[in-house]
Structure 1
Amino acid sequence: MKKSLIIIALLTICFFQADCFAQKSKKSKFRALVLYENGGHHLEFTKAAKPWLNKLAIDSSFTIDYIENTKTINEALLSKYQVFIQLDYPPYTWSEESMKAFQNYMASGKGGWIGLHHATLLGEFDGYPMWKWFSDFMGGIKFVNYIPDFANAKVNIEDKSHPVMKGIPSDFFVNKEEWYIYDKSPRENVHVLASVDESTYEPDSKIKMGDHPVIWTNDHFASRNIYIFTGHSPELFKNEAYTTLLRNSIFWAANKN
């Protein structure tokens, strides 16, 4: 009888120890902050992105929080996160405090940044002047045009050795994208990881840029950063190359790979 009680006690201890170990193993690896648009024509992308991001966070044991505007962005807030994702949110409507906080965040090396699509809507919009620092951050560019009726196109990887490109083919197709045009290529000021082949536009478009980078990182900052132009259509979350790129970018920006 005593022997049985001892065995039960030992099993109970092992159970709780295993449970405690499992709890510890599920401890959040890092925290991610996502700034997203909750309206306009990018809403459908947001609706597809959030459940995908939430599942990735659960499966990969990191914490993810969301904000819909930049009002709460300050140095204290950003200091809590290892990666900041600008999910289809433009570089205007930011307050002086939020702009300064983000600039310091990128200079500190304490957290990384991923910007999608709308993050390069650089210019004078809705009564706001262009954020010069952000333009320089993105390679000194200014938005001038886009393909409003969309086009499919092939994206060519230029730096296959970069960690964000692991598991991605040397080229892949993106459907239904706006393909922003800038006043110049950012290539001279950034590290280009991929570009769009404008000869593959379907349907063809006269709105072309020539040298047209669509994924790049700015190595002049202490914080890891990557801009990924594609980010308009919710269909992107059915594109394995795109989801692999986004997943890789999150872990790379968070300094976890």
Structure 2
Amino acid sequence: MKNSIIIISLFFLCFSQVGCFAQKPKKRTFKTLVLYENGGHHLAFTKAAKPWLNQLAVENDFTIDYIENTKTINEAFLNQYKVFIQLDYPPYTWNEEAMKAFEKYMKNGKGGWVGLHHATLLGEFDGYPMWKWFSDFMGKIKFEDYIADFANAKVKIEDRFHPVTKGLQVDFLIKKEEWYIYDKSPRQNVHVLASVDESTFEPDSNIKMGDHPVIWTNYHFKSRNIYIFMGHSPELFENETYTKLLKNAILWAANAK
């Protein structure tokens, strides 16, 4: 009799616990929008990024929608998303409505933004004028030059206490990157998290800035935002420090870290 009571008690205890039997599907915690280039010389990076992002979404309970251009972007569309990832997509070719919607999204704290690499290709390209607001957003900079034949270099963390850089090595090697040069350092207008040590360029290059930030955030905006320059080679997804950095950035931008 005593054993029967114990068995019945255990049955009801198990039945009351979620997951003891059939579990309900988990509700995803937030939605992410990824704007990416489906062509050009950044296509290989995009192809490597997508499966990595999809796996990250599964592991961290969020969903991802992908778009290849800004035609669908307006205020209502953007407000669906907790994070907007500008994955190697430049700050031109945007239509007027998309530009205004993004500006409002960042000013009003509607969601976070993670920009990679091509997001600072600021200037007059393909017949488009420079988007001045975006230049201000990125620290009042303008693209000037780049290392077209690529170079390896060490990135040095400057703010080790920010959630995006938490747990990263103090310095780490980035291989095969086309380091951008701007007309000036954005440092006076943004909070720099990391910079590239130009003395470690391999092979060496005469295309240098001096003070050369590569990861930063702009605290003048209500929405969380982070720019990570590195984002050209698909080999970056074999770099554990880089993938940890990108994961930290996405979760921080979503206010989930």
Residue 166 of structure 1, CA deviation:
1.2
TM-score (normalised: structure 1): 0.93
Residue 22 of structure 1, CA deviation:
3.7
The whole-number CA distance in structure 2 between the counterparts of 1:23 and 1:74 is 34
Determine helix, strand or coil for the equivalent of 2:210.
Answer: coil
Aligned to 1:14: 15
1:190-244 CA-to-partner distances (Å, cap 9, x unmatched) read 0000000000000000111110000000000000000000000000001011000
Letter in 2 for 1:65: D
1:83-117 CA-to-partner distances (Å, cap 9, x unmatched) read 00000000000010000000000011120000000
Aligned to 2:152: 152
Aligned to 1:85: 85
1:11-60 CA-to-partner distances (Å, cap 9, x unmatched) read 7x928953798426x21111110000000000000000000000000111
Aligned to 1:106: 106
Structure 1 runs of 4+ aligned residues shifted over 6 Å read: none
The whole-number CA distance in structure 2 between the counterparts of 1:50 and 1:62 is 14
Aligned to 1:200: 200
Q: Which residues in structure 2 correspond to 1:24-173 (within 5 Å)?
A: 26-173=26-173
1:104-136 CA-to-partner distances (Å, cap 9, x unmatched) read 000111200000000000000000000000000
Aligned to 2:247: 247
User: 2:190·2:218 contact (CA, 8 Å) conserved in 1?
Assistant: yes
User: 2:15·2:21 contact (CA, 8 Å) conserved in 1?
Assistant: no
C-alpha distance 172-69 of structure 1, shift in aligned 2 (>3 A):
same
The whole-number CA distance in structure 1 between the counterparts of 2:215 and 2:43 is 22
Determine helix, strand or coil for the equivalent of 1:216.
Answer: strand
Determine helix, strand or coil for the equivalent of 1:27.
Answer: coil
2:219 matches 1:219: yes
TM-score (normalised: structure 2): 0.93
Unaligned runs of 5+ in 2: none
